A and B are shown apart, each in its own frame.
Chain A
Amino acid sequence: MKRLPTWKKFTTLSLVFILGLLPLASCSSDKPDTAAINGSQANRAQQQAPTKLADGKYEVQQATFDDGTGVYTAFLLNTTPPTFRSSALQMARLTPEEEKAGEKGYLKVTNGQAALHIPEKFQISYVHNVTEEKTNAQTGQKETVVVRQESSFWTPFLGAVAGNMVANALFAPRYYMPPAYSAGGLRGYGGSGTSYNQAIGQYQSRYGSPPLAVQNQRALRSTGLSRFPRNDSASRSMQNNRSTGSGYGSSNLRRNNDQQYRSAPRSGGFGSMQRSRSFGGMRRR
């Protein structure tokens, strides 16, 4: 980042401070926190907006991880809302000093980034989703349907030092992917990294495929393509105002499924399509 003049720095910093306090006042209404997913609700849970917490330290009573959505839910003590939900949660092991001081585990939010600091033997409840893949006849999109759920537990830091990680790195917040599911409980981690993608990458290179939550999030779409080459006899000189074409795409971004964006001026084809913060050499009529 560029160096800012001191007065500017001061104003931005003070703004951060003021805005940082705002959520404290405004987040008193707690949303229903039913984490239970029945049937094909996996996608819906995934779209639940992550909870926002003001910067600070919160005592954690319990935490769960849902491998169908990749969402962590932390149950906090003396906090409203009492639960914190996020898929981009970093974790770190409590330092020996902290453990000696009787620390049980806490959630620390710094600059909006949450990190779960937990002792070595802390068990995270692990909800395992048994899924089946189905193609939605309407959209042609592949969807993962949850058939049933099993529960287990995950101790990310138990025996983790045995791996190739430098001990110091354990105490700094990082992203972790759980190891491959086993009914008797999970130990250690399947991948870790300083970024979410890096953790996924490490998991993938170990197990050959990305974690379930990432697979579920991934939406492959294609048009005009089939898995098997067509018999080449399609008509060539079509009296049509469109030519042929094909397309494919995949994304691992979460979706809000917000109507606001779908009905943005663009689809109407008239009006100015100047969204705020748009760029490009494309002008629509």
Chain B
Amino acid sequence: MSAAIKVADRVPDVEEHPESIWDKAFYKFRNDRAGMLGLGIVLVYFIAALGVWFGVWGGEWSDVEGPKWGSMSAEHWFGTNIIGQDIFQRNLYSTKTAFEIGLIVAVLSTILGALLGAVAGFFSGTWIDAIVLWMMGVLDSIPFYLFVAAVAFALQGNPWAMHVAMVSTFWTTTGRLVRGEVIKLKNFEFVEASRAIGVPQITIIFRHIVPNTFHILLVQATIVFVAAIKSEVILSFLGLGVHDGVSWGLMISESTLEVLAGFFNNFIWASVFLFVLVMAFNMFSDALQDALDPKKVAES
């Protein structure tokens, strides 16, 4: 009996499920164990970040209350750092910092990539396309760290300099992918039909064409999220990243001194927290890609 119900659960009901890429993707994603595990872990981190955001926990990240290099104890779960700050609290706060950077950079660079990529693709072969392609080429050929440093100079140490630099370089990949897809889509009959009944070009691009690239945008956003978190670590280490608060990059950066003295708590816990989040996000992103790949959806 229960076996029969299980089987019935697993077979997608054609009547209830219209032939939409999203329904199939959702069904496929739900059956991807690694992807679901990744999503679960990301959600746990997200809740931790929200808790810090609303002031539920993580507020004591900057208090100097423990001993220097205290070991792991009930009071300080992961021990304390060189000046006696609680490493667990700092990890919680860094989770918030990472989500802030990841979300801001992912959302903004995806929007920018979608806008410019769609316009370039729709007007492919014209001067508009040429300018957007030229911008992508230029931004891709400036060394990333130099670009961040240059933006930081230009914004005179503004704490958002790192975000600005990431958004203005990370959109290019999304832009290229969207451009390619739009060039394909703009010759479809539904575009021709809407043109025939006199729909304005802007409406055609953003109401009719761009929504058909959402599967690319979603996957790209997750990839950019991971890239932003990983870049933050290196930029903060180089002194070009986070200046207010604490982040995993700053924690690892300060831990290089402690490591030389033989105290590994700060380094290990910051690394583990960072690694688990990035790994989970990568698993989630992979499963999403598998689920949303039109070729693979067609096969299943």
Answer yes or no: do A and B interact: no
